[in-house]
Structure 1
Amino acid sequence: MSLADSPFINRLHTNYVPLDSEVLEIRSLLVDPANELARLDAQIKEAEIALDQLKKQRALLKLPIDAHLALISPMRRIPQDVLLEIFFSCLPTEHNALVDPAEAPLVLGRICRHWREVAYSVPMLWSSIHIPSLDYSTASQNILSSFERTVKAWLERSAPCPLSISFFDKIHPRDILKENPLEIQLPAVSRRLRHLALAGHSKFIPPLLRLGAADLPLLRRLRIRTTIDITDFTNVFQIPTLEDVALAIFTPVNPLSLGLPWSQLTRLCLNCFPVWTENGSAGGLDVRGVSDVLRMCPNLVHCEIRVTRESDEGLPPDTPPISLPHLDTLFLSNWNLRSRILAVPNLRFLRIGDVYSRKASTLPPNGCLSADIDPNQFTSPDWLRSLLYLFPTISHLRLSSVTQAISPDDLALFCPPHNLCPMLTHFTTHSPAAEFSDAAVLAFIQARMAMPTPLQQFRAHFQRPMEIDIVPELHSFIADGLEVALEYSPSSEWVFDSRSGLHDIDFSD
């Protein structure tokens, strides 16, 4: 009998307990099917053995085929100039090349002899290097020696190209090394240095700061971030070829005393913080200091600067404007712009707030301005009105704050009768403390869409529930191309957690 005709079909997959006589009947039913199953298992085993033999035969045949195909691989016949273009495309673009065997350019020499010969013979592939911090007190001598040889060979391969070197070092608890590999090797290549970045706090930083114009005749870009007192190590700052300088200094130094070639700088980033002493704070920049810096840099194209020192004296009312005719990007922090002190006719990007963020906003059209503003930078109730009056060409505006509330009155500044920012096309706000309602948002959008230059995009994030759905009221605008994105994330309420604190208690005997 086939199991398909089994009298127990209706009992299968249930909790039914068969009688003793039914147990014997079931066993009798399974004899022939079990024999058939054993026969099929034997056939499968034989087939698997045959399949294994076929796989081995295939592998033996495939090896010489693959070897011959490798001989005619297109990659073997690629012209060297094309191969070099591929090599250059493998190099990092956001930072200097890493001393990492899995990254270009080192990995390019690990593929085959031909690639290694090509890579090692092209100095431009080795024209940048980032040298990380090593713990010289705990790393084995083999690791240190291998690292030193790698850096030395790297720098030799780069000759005669101009170099970009970034170096990070730190204080080691058991720092017993008397000389750093970079400190030994840098003088030999210093005359080829075009870009230099130093970050760290170890004793190896000051000797590098003593290098002057004779040691660094090609230096254009300088980046320094340190807590070391650099007051007595200012040679590197006075190199006349410098055009791009970024300083993050956490010691009592006034940037104005460094002797930088201010009038030649096209890029400048200053985050110089004061240090508190018994006689008060020392170092840093107040509003007047920032004003003096900007006035000495008429050729700036990109500027990031932070006011780090409070002062009872602001700028005099009759302070003449600071002309920066080439300035494209300006990031300011802790400076409340209240007057037209800056003459910046070509400004494209403005950020008032955190100068550490370097991601630019959406590219505005010619003649317009993209602005990211943090309301936390201001204390006066009319902060926004005063600022926006200074920059009427804003087309892309982002208001972002963690604590400072953006009120309905702020939103109303963009509507009649004020009509601030008449060229505004993109508006974004991300403020958990935003106080304006969905109805205010609707009124804002409707008012801006009726202006000669209508909105193209409105984005807002609220830390509250939706009050009313305004999207249906905006369908006609959306159909004409308006992009609207509204996000609501209500504050989460407390939820009982029976396991709260369980892992903080020791239950061991």
Structure 2
Amino acid sequence: MVSPFASLLGTNYSPTDEEVPKIKALLAEPAFRLKRLEDEIRELQKTLDELAAERDSLVGYMDSHRALLSPIRRLPLDILQEIFLACIPTHRNCAMSALEAPVLLGRICSSWRSISLSTPRLWAKLHFVEPYLPYAFEPATRTTQHLEGAKSWLDRSGLCPLSISLRTPHSSYAPDSYSSLQDFIQTLIPLASRWQHIDFYMPLATFDALYQLTETDVPLLESVAFHPLSYSETGWNRFRVLNGPRVSSIYALGNDLMAEDFPIRWQELTALEMAGPTWRTSVTSEIVLRILGNCPKLQSCKVILNDGHPSSGVLLAHPPVECKFLHTLQFSCENAGATFPRLLDRISLPELRSFILRWEVDSGACPSLAHQFKGWTKLESLDIDSERTLTPEFLEDFRSLPPTMRRLVIHDVGLAEQVPRDTDDSLPGLAVCPLLETLEIYKCVNISDAALLRFITARMGVAPRPTLRRVHVTFNRYMTLDILPSLQPFIENGLDVSISHNERAPMKLAPWLGLSDT
């Protein structure tokens, strides 16, 4: 439509008194046409709505009938139960939540609910968390409901062996504080004959209820983990359940693990973990050697070590210990000093696959491990946290790593203001690890961005096919070079790269700074 006012449209022009009637006259015919179009649109929309309603009715009719043909409706009961069991977490116990199996499975339909409730193995794993009620409103009602839910869960497990983990959100307990843990423990005790795996994190006093049980009460018990909320003397030599005929995995405080009086079938242990802070423990190298010597079947061992002022003669006099099946070994050390290499020299580890070292910063320099690396010919994973991890001397130790290495985790304890090295030999010994798949460095300071880029580029250029799959580095300093663009071709070919730096906070100029009304 042509308008005499076309040149004025879209401007701030104000029409004169003579032009106002002309503009209104121009709008009469378009307004009439607009009304006709709106009427036609309403009629067409009504027709479309009717067609859409008919279509939706047909779709609903067809979908409801097609649902009857769904293959899952025709699955045999035993197959459906196996699918349900595959939904259960394998690395932990099941939470009392409708967001995951087995509770979630019962929320789909009445048929699935009936199947889930009648499948005992779905309910054989339970993670019980004490309700956190610091300012509880009707605490007795709420905790009672929670406890009743746990009892119903256990009732559904039938006669299946049980895996139970228990946690409290409280860091400590006042003598008169309300706790449902004691009631839950009393619920568990009659089921002790079905315990297979137990993991209890609760106040020390709550463990007293377990004293009444003996090794004959727990014929199926295989693994035990006790986490008291304090590091006081536990008196766990009174826990006769630890001497169960099938107990092979123990987690307990280091001070309680004394080979002479702890009620454990040491010769049957396959997994042992000592807990507690290293500065508190009295576990020495001599005790570690004694315990390892009493555990010929041990496969995984995590120990804390605090020699204080040990006598090197004690270590030299102790006979060598051979751990034929030990594949995972972790040390958390304090005051080990020069005795630590002597301790390792007294342990034969022909099957060691994974070695983890946590060396306390105030324990002095971590000794060289080059000699041990040469002897661990099957080592695949190394995880080290020490204040000399990425020093030139320690990096030189990496030249002694066996060619079987696949995973290296380094915790670099360096000062954030330290200047990183930018030389081609910043990561020297890793060249002898042709099968390296994973490199993780945390709090990295000593290695520069450019040196890391050169290392990754060199590893990704290995013929015929690079083995490196994952690089995860967190720098405890600011970025000096953005290397991600250069790594993009490798990332597109499947390399998993995660690199982060400490970032400078941007300076912001606030014109209102200091004014009273800001």
If the TM-score is normalised by the length of the shorter chain, which range does it land in? 0.7 to 0.9
Cα deviation, residue 438, structure 1: 6.7
Cα distance in 1 for partners of 2:463, 2:7 equals 78
Equivalent positions of 1:350-389 (< 5 A) are 350-353=355-358, 367-376=378-387, 382-383=393-394, 385=396, 389=400
Cα distance in 2 for partners of 1:206, 1:506 equals 61
Amino acid at match of 2:118: S
Does 2:278 correspond to 1:266?
A: no
Does 2:498 correspond to 1:492?
A: no
Cα deviation, residue 60, structure 1: 6.0
Amino acid at match of 1:272: G
Q: Which residue of 2 aligns with 1:119?
A: 116
Q: Which residue of 2 aligns with 1:223?
A: 225
Cα distance in 1 for partners of 2:192, 2:308 equals 40
Judge conservation of contact 1:253–1:284 (CA < 8 Å) in 2.
no
Cα deviation, residue 79, structure 1: 1.6
Task: Say which SS state the counterpart of residue 374 (structure 1) adopts.
Answer: strand
Cα distance in 1 for partners of 2:35, 2:107 equals 54
Q: Which residue of 1 aligns with 2:167?
A: 168
Q: 2:4 aligns with which of 4, 7, 20?
A: 7
Task: Say which SS state the counterpart of residue 25 (structure 1) adopts.
Answer: helix
Equivalent positions of 1:96-111 (< 5 A) are 96-111=93-108
Q: Which residue of 1 aligns with 2:206?
A: 204
Judge conservation of contact 2:299–2:325 (CA < 8 Å) in 1.
yes
Amino acid at match of 1:127: A
Cα distance in 1 for partners of 2:60, 2:460 equals 69
Cα deviation, residue 443, structure 1: 8.4
Cα distance in 2 for partners of 1:142, 1:412 equals 66
CA deviations 1:232-290 (Å, max 9, x no partner) are 343133334211122367xx64555533333221112222237xxxxxx8645344433
Cα deviation, residue 66, structure 1: 5.1
**CA 1:98–1:345 in structure 2 vs 1: closer, same or farther (change >3 Å)?**
same
Judge conservation of contact 1:193–1:219 (CA < 8 Å) in 2.
yes
Does 2:341 correspond to 1:338?
A: yes
Q: Which residue of 2 aligns with 1:422?
A: 432
Cα distance in 2 for partners of 1:497, 1:271 equals 51
Q: Which residue of 2 aligns with 1:329?
A: 328
Cα deviation, residue 27, structure 1: 1.8
**CA 1:62–1:332 in structure 2 vs 1: closer, same or farther (change >3 Å)?**
same
Amino acid at match of 2:288: V
CA deviations 1:485-508 (Å, max 9, x no partner) are 795847526624539999xx9979
Structure 2 unmatched ranges of 5 or more: 361-376
Judge conservation of contact 1:194–1:219 (CA < 8 Å) in 2.
yes
Q: 1:399 aligns with which of 380, 400, 410?
A: 410
RMSD: 4.7
**CA 1:432–1:494 in structure 2 vs 1: closer, same or farther (change >3 Å)?**
farther
Q: Which residue of 2 aligns with 1:295?
A: 293
Cα distance in 1 for partners of 2:332, 2:419 equals 19
Does 2:345 correspond to 1:347?
A: no
Q: Which residue of 2 aligns with 1:359?
A: none
Q: Normalization by structure 2: what TM-score? A: 0.74
Which piece of structure 1 moves more, 401-410 or 340-349? 401-410
CA deviations 1:14-58 (Å, max 9, x no partner) are 333333333332222111112222222233334445555555566
CA deviations 1:389-408 (Å, max 9, x no partner) are 48675454333324267986
Task: Say which SS state the counterpart of residue 353 (structure 1) adopts.
Answer: strand
Q: Which residue of 1 aligns with 2:32?
A: 35
Cα distance in 2 for partners of 1:439, 1:64 equals 64
Judge conservation of contact 2:398–2:430 (CA < 8 Å) in 1.
no
Q: Normalization by structure 1: what TM-score? A: 0.75
Q: Which residue of 2 aligns with 1:152?
A: 151
Cα distance in 2 for partners of 1:144, 1:387 equals 54
Task: Say which SS state the counterpart of residue 44 (structure 1) adopts.
Answer: helix
**CA 1:454–1:50 in structure 2 vs 1: closer, same or farther (change >3 Å)?**
closer
CA deviations 1:188-224 (Å, max 9, x no partner) are 2110110001012274333135533122111101122
Cα distance in 2 for partners of 1:322, 1:452 equals 41
Q: Which residue of 1 aligns with 2:15?
A: 18
Amino acid at match of 2:298: L
Structure 1 unmatched ranges of 5 or more: 275-280, 356-365
Number of aligned residue pairs: give it: 477
Judge conservation of contact 1:425–1:454 (CA < 8 Å) in 2.
no
Judge conservation of contact 2:121–2:157 (CA < 8 Å) in 1.
yes
Q: 1:92 aligns with which of 89, 93, 104?
A: 89
Cα distance in 2 for partners of 1:375, 1:411 equals 23
Equivalent positions of 1:458-497 (< 5 A) are 463-466=477-480, 489=501, 492=504, 495-496=507-508
Judge conservation of contact 1:392–1:422 (CA < 8 Å) in 2.
yes
Cα distance in 1 for partners of 2:501, 2:178 equals 54
Q: Which residue of 1 aligns with 2:374?
A: none
Among all aligned residue pairs of Structure 1 and Structure 2, give the percentage whose two residues are the same amino acid: 27
Task: Say which SS state the counterpart of residue 33 (structure 1) adopts.
Answer: helix
Q: Which residue of 1 aligns with 2:187?
A: 185
Task: Say which SS state the counterpart of residue 217 (structure 2) adopts.
Answer: coil
Cα distance in 2 for partners of 1:109, 1:469 equals 50
Cα distance in 2 for partners of 1:369, 1:163 equals 34
Q: 2:243 aligns with which of 238, 242, 255?
A: 238
Cα deviation, residue 311, structure 1: 0.8
Amino acid at match of 2:441: H
Judge conservation of contact 1:288–1:314 (CA < 8 Å) in 2.
no
Task: Say which SS state the counterpart of residue 330 (structure 1) adopts.
Answer: strand
Cα distance in 2 for partners of 1:98, 1:304 equals 27
Cα distance in 2 for partners of 1:466, 1:482 equals 25
Cα distance in 1 for partners of 2:288, 2:74 equals 58
